[in-house]
Amino acid sequence: MNDFLFFTSLFVPFYSLLGAILTLPWGIGLVKRTGPRPAAYFNLLTTIFGFIHSLLVFQDIWNREQENIVITWFQAADLKLTFAIELSPVSIGAVVLITGLSLLAQIYALGYMEKDWSLARFFGLLGFFEAALCGLAISDSLFLSYALLEVLTLSTYLLVGFWYAQPLVVTAARDAFLTKRVGDLLLLMGVVTLSTLAGSLDFSDLYEWVQTADLNPLTATFLGIALIAGPAGKCAQFPLHLWLDEAMEGPNPASVMRNSLVVAGGAYVLYKIQPILSLSPVALNVLVVLGTVTAVGATLVSLAQIDIKRALSHSTSAYMGLVFLAVGLEQGGVALMLLLTHAIAKALLFMSSGSIIYTTQSQDLTEMGGLWSRMPATTTAFVVGSAGMVTLLPLGSFWAMLAWADGLVMVSPWVIAVLVLVNGLTALNLTRVFRLIFWGEPQQKTRRAPEVGWPMALPMVILTVIALMLPLMLQQWYLLPDWESIDWYVLSALLTSTILGLAIGSTIHLHKGWSRSTVFGWRLVQDLLGYDFYIDRIYRLTIVSAVAMLSKISAWSDRYLVDGLVNLVGFATIFGGQSLKYSISGQSQAYMLTIIVVISVLGFFISWSLGLLDKLPF
């Protein structure tokens, strides 16, 4: 039985795909009398099957060797495209995480979307989303991973634009799709180049090729940057980070998946290609720079947000920046641990924020207050999720940060400063958000706010328990460091940054109107962070303006040069025909003479242009 479950675990993504297909009769309106909820139940049932299957395999896989299954999809001459599958503790563990969080998000969505007229379509998209993520987790082929990343791009577009009747939603879906397409296009260039250089796109073959590869430094650099671009777009890294902020216009259950799993999917691909990136020190340095800039910049931007989902989404970009930094410093194991702890904590935070939005019908932090006594389950979920995000002993992120910092304290001590800064600012931001939502006097929209119903409360409670038990899971998987190997200076620095963030966030003055400061310098800082360092305006003034200018030049050339030349030929033909019709005599001798003269003139010019006349004796 165990062998059967193990070797059939590659079909786990098809559970979710089947669930998505089963929602179609309700999604396209063929079945109307029952309402859309049966479609949600079908999708929920297939997710349960996938979760149980992967969980049973995960319990047994520690006693097995890694298995690689290769399925040839297309082969012609030297071109061979395969679907390579990896069955290992890491890949199956990722599938358990994906199916488990997806299951909780779908139960949560039953309550959050209960009144939505297109519930079946939403659950169908969630199943499509989950299938792509599960396939990405077990993929051992860069070709298959690229294809699944494209599926995630399409899924993001459809889920962000779910409420397509709202103009802002349409704009957000379009921007998210096009921004990701920039990274995907560069990634495709890297995939094609790598298939030519290595002869295979399976990760196991690529790792063997890397050991003997002798690439030109410039080629290795461009290849590495192209491979980085795709994950950078998926993980909302600078300069492809603006889409995640706008993507918060979609339904909150989709935001739970997107901020915990989708961004982690891009980072997981980056982890898989890290040995290839090691061919170019420049590419690794690019990772370090991108990760550092995004981690610090996005954390600062989150401090100035007054929309609850945007305040949390920017911290997602920041923590993915830390993952990029870890991969750039070749700390892949720590990057995976950080992805795990961040996914659980961020899913819990977005479930809590969705409950607040659902019961108050508002996302504005300045309109909230006093909810801690009215929504105890939501408050507990937010507190545990926030504690899991920062280095607060003994929760998961504490060990992830400590394990990473402990290995780099002597090699790259500046990294410790980045970790301490990001951790302290994250604690400050989460404390600020907590005070605005749960503390203080109730406002008009929170005075009568009740706790959410059980479909939304149950997933939050379950995930809260999982977040609290995560250190025990890490210990069982032998992922926690020994106390003897801990650097107490680093531990003290991380804990101090958390305490300082909590202290400052608890004591700073938070005006409910969030009025702009009368001090000019401080107002500039508020605007700079609130508008994301004006990146969108810089894009409009540079890239967008340049593309618009080139478009105008192209349109002018097409209208006046290309069309003008064609119209000139047509006008000359018409004018010549109209002119010649008056000189027609009707005599065949005149026609023959005209033809002979024209052919003679053409022959003379052709001979002259070819230099044939130079050979004549005269």
- 131-140 pLDDT, tens digit each: 989 988 888 8
The C-alpha atoms of residue 404 and residue 413 are separated, in whole angstroms, by 11
> Residue 513's pLDDT is what?
46
In a domain, 582, yes or no: no
**Peptide bond between residue 450 and the one before it cis (omega within 30 degrees of 0):** no
| Cα–Cα nearest to 184, from 192, 5, 598, 617 | 192
Angstrom CA distances, 602 to 65, 463, 569, 598, 605, stand at 80, 86, 18, 6, 5
> Residue 77's pLDDT is what?
65
The C-alpha atoms of residue 213 and residue 279 are separated, in whole angstroms, by 8
Same domain, 455 and 332: yes
In a domain, 450, yes or no: yes
Same domain, 149 and 251: yes
Same domain, 82 and 178: no
**Peptide bond between residue 394 and the one before it cis (omega within 30 degrees of 0):** yes
| Cα–Cα nearest to 319, from 303, 301, 335 | 335
Structure-block tokens of residue 334: 């720590």
Same domain, 37 and 25: yes
In a domain, 580, yes or no: no
Q: CA torsion, points 293, 296, 297, 301, in degrees to nearest 10? A: 170
**Ramachandran category for residue 357: left, alpha or beta (phi over 0 → left; psi -120 to 50 → alpha):** alpha
Same domain, 369 and 279: yes
In a domain, 449, yes or no: yes
Ranges under pLDDT 70 in the chain: 1, 76-79, 404-411, 482-485, 511-521, 579-587, 610-618
Q: Mark which of 140, 166, 193 sits at the end of a domain.
A: 140
Q: Are 299 and 237 in contact (CB under 8 A)?
A: no
Same domain, 414 and 553: no
Same domain, 123 and 169: no
Same domain, 281 and 366: yes
Q: Mark which of 530, 565, 597 sits at the end of a domain.
A: 530
In a domain, 579, yes or no: no
CB atoms within 10 A of CB 221: 18
The C-alpha atoms of residue 329 and residue 349 are separated, in whole angstroms, by 29
pTM: 0.84
DSSP H or E segment with residue 76: strand 67-76
Handedness of CA 87, 91, 93, 94 (dihedral sign): negative
Structure-block tokens of residue 613: 């006349």
**Ramachandran category for residue 586: left, alpha or beta (phi over 0 → left; psi -120 to 50 → alpha):** left
When divided into structural domains, the chain yields a total of 4
Q: Are 146 and 231 in contact (CB under 8 A)?
A: no
Same domain, 298 and 314: yes
CB atoms within 10 A of CB 14: 15
In a domain, 581, yes or no: no
In a domain, 40, yes or no: yes
Q: Mark which of 89, 118, 140 sits at the end of a domain.
A: 140
Across 430-503, where does the E strand assignment appear? none
Structure-block tokens of residue 36: 């859309």
The residue range of the domain holding 267 is: 141-530
Same domain, 548 and 608: no
Which tens digits make up the pLDDT trace of 238-256? 887 777 777 777 788 888 8
DSSP H or E segment with residue 120: helix 119-138
DSSP, res 616: S
Same domain, 216 and 342: yes
3-state helix/strand/coil string of 394-441: CCHHHHHHHHHHHHHCCCCHHHHHHHHHHHHHHHHHHHHHHHHHHCCC
Query: Amino acid identity, residue 478?
Result: Y
Same domain, 110 and 177: no
> Residue 250's pLDDT is what?
79
Query: What count of Cα atoms within 13 Å lies in the side-chain half-sphere of residue 552?
Result: 5
Helix residue ranges, H only, 236-373: 242-246, 252-257, 263-272, 274-277, 281-302, 308-328, 332-360
Query: Amino acid identity, residue 490?
Result: V
In a domain, 290, yes or no: yes
